[in-house]
């Protein structure tokens, strides 16, 4: 008389069902994240093609973060003595500094941090500051509204000198006493003032999420195949010779 499935059968069945459900859900979550990134990237491109904002619109915005990626045309004066050189930044495959300087926006009380461009460092004297041209008086800046400069991993305190690994906007605001906005401006245009501006093109990153989704769903299919194979096509013991 043939016996029904034993406890081991149901244990493996429950484990397989849970594994399949979990990997299917993780794959669906990755697809959702990928679609969100595509939507955000589409919004960023649309904003980049929108009308150019002026300094007053940026300075008086209730939440400047809502204006990220919009093009902007600023007039103002540099706070030259607060220029910071962010170390270990690359552009066009070369190592150097991102140069950031606060700009007092004309006809407002606001100050915005401008990512002015990139300059190669002196590898013979790592403490030597490269020569850049910071024009006194009124300047005109074309750019796009961007988050503060991205941070790299560092050991300990980033310091307060002109050469730093990272710059925290809130700490820099306290350090300088300047009424810095919560955003920065990434200056665009041709190379000038000793600075290059071949900024990396920001992609959506959605392809990684879709790749992860494929891996999760492939694992889900593998679990199902192995379950069927070992549960319904068991290996028969070889006959003794």
**How would CATH label the architecture of 51-187?**
Beta Barrel (2.40)
Q: What is the pLDDT of residue 240?
A: 47
pLDDT, tens only, 25-43: 999 999 998 888 778 777 7
Q: What is the pLDDT of residue 1?
A: 43
Surface-to-core class of residue 213, CB atoms within 10 Å of its CB (0-12 exposed, 13-18 middle, 19+ buried): buried
H or E stretch covering 223: helix 206-232
Taking 3-state DSSP, the helix, strand and coil percentages for the chain, each rounded to the nearest 5, stand at: 35, 25, 35
First to last CA, the chain: 28
Residues of the chain under the 50 pLDDT cut: 1-2, 240-241
User: Rounded to an integer, what is the distance from CA 30 to the centroid of its chain?
Assistant: 18
Q: What is the pLDDT of residue 156?
A: 64
Q: What is the pLDDT of residue 182?
A: 97
pLDDT, tens only, 106-138: 999 999 999 999 999 888 887 889 999 999 999
Helix 206-232 / helix 7-48 crossing angle, nearest 10 deg:
170
For 21, residues 6+ apart whose C-beta sits below 8 A from its C-beta are: none
Can you count the helices (H) and strands (E) in the chain?
Answer: 4, 8
Contact 53, 118 (CB under 8 A): no
Contact 127, 163 (CB under 8 A): yes
Which residue matches tokens 């003595």?
81
Q: What is the pLDDT of residue 112?
A: 98
């Amino acid at each position: 008389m043939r016996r029904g499935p034993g406890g081991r059968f149901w244990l493996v069945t429950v484990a397989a069902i849970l594994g399949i459900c979990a990997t299917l859900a993780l794959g669906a979550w990755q697809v959702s994240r990928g679609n969100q990134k595509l939507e955000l990237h589409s919004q960023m491109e649309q904003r980049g093609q929108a009308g150019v904002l002026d300094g007053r619109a940026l300075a008086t915005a209730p939440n400047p973060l809502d204006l990220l990626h919009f093009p902007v045309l600023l007039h103002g004066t540099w706070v030259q003595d607060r220029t910071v050189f962010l170390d270990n930044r690359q552009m066009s495959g070369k190592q150097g500094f991102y140069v950031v300087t606060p700009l007092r926006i004309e006809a407002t009380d606001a100050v915005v941090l401008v990512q002015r461009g990139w300059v190669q460092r002196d590898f013979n004297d790592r403490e030597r500051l490269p020569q850049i041209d910071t024009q006194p008086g009124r300047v005109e800046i074309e750019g796009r509204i961007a988050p503060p400069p991205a941070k790299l991993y560092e050991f300990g305190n980033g310091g307060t000198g002109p050469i730093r690994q990272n710059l925290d906007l809130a700490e820099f605001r306290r350090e300088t006493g300047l009424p810095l906005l919560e955003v920065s401006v990434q200056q665009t245009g041709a190379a000038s003032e000793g600075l290059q501006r071949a900024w990396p093109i920001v992609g959506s990153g959605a392809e990684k999420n879709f790749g992860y989704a494929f891996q999760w769903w492939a694992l889900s299919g593998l679990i199902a195949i192995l379950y069927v194979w070992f549960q319904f096509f068991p290996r028969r013991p070889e006959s003794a010779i």
